[in-house]
Amino acid sequence: MNNHVRELRGERGWSQAELAQKLDVSRQTVNAVETGKYDPSLPLAFKLARLFGVPIEMIFVPGEE
Amino acid sequence: MARFSKRQYQQHVLAAMGVYTALITLAWPLVRITHSVPLKVLLAVATAMPVVYVIAQLVRLIRASDELERFTHLVALSSATAVVCALSLIGGFLSVAGVVKLDGSILIWVYPAMALCYGVVHAWVRRRYGVAMWCEEVSARQYLLISVFGIGLIALALLCPHWLGDQQRGALYGVGVVFIVFGIVLAAVYHYRRKYRDE
Count: domains in chain A: 1
When mean pLDDT is compared across B36-50, B51-65, B127-141, B145-159, the lowest value belongs to: B127-141
**For residue B75, is pLDDT > 50?**
yes
Residue B106 has pLDDT above 60, yes or no: yes
The domains of chain B are located at 138-199
Average pLDDT, chain B: 84
Task: With H, G, I as helix, E, B as strand and everything else as coil, classify residue B131.
Answer: coil
Residues 1-60 of A with CB under 8 A from B: 15-17, 24-29, 31-32, 35, 37-38, 40-41, 44
Taking the C-alpha atoms of residue B186 and residue B90, their distance in angstroms, rounded to an integer, is 36
Do the domain assignments include residue A57?
no
Contact A31 B69 (CB under 8 A): no
Q: What is the ipTM of this complex?
A: 0.86
Q: In whole angstroms, how far apart are CA B95 and each of A22, A50, B104?
A: 55, 59, 12
Binary contact (B66, A26; C-beta < 8 A): yes
Q: Residue range B131-147: average pLDDT? A: 66
pLDDT reported for residue B1 = 52
Residue A38 lies in a domain: yes
| SS3 state at B45 | helix
Answer yes or no: do B69 and A26 touch at CB < 8 A.
yes
pTM above 0.90, yes or no: no
The CATH number of the domain holding residue A9 is: 1.10.260.40
C-beta separation of B168 from B176 below 8 A: no
- The arithmetic mean of pLDDT across residues B25-45, rounded, is 87
According to the model, what pLDDT value does residue B105 have? 85
CA distance linking residue B76 with residue B123, whole number of Å? 9
Angle at B115 between CA B111 and CA B118, to 5 degrees: 135
**Proportion of chain B above pLDDT 70, given as a percent:** 89
Residue A62 counted as domain residue = no
pLDDT of B136 above 60: no
Average pLDDT, integer, range A19-38: 93
B13 has pLDDT over 70: yes
**Lowest mean pLDDT: which of A26-35, B106-115, B133-142?**
B133-142
Task: Report H helices in chain B.
Answer: 6-22, 30-33, 37-63, 67-96, 110-128, 140-159, 166-196
Confidence of residue B195 (pLDDT cuts 50, 70, 90): low
Average pLDDT over residues A9-36: 93
Residues B66/A30, Cβ–Cβ less than 8 Å:
no
Would residue A23 count as lying in a domain? Answer: yes
The yes-or-no verdict on residue B18 having pLDDT over 70 is yes
Parent domain of A41: 2-52
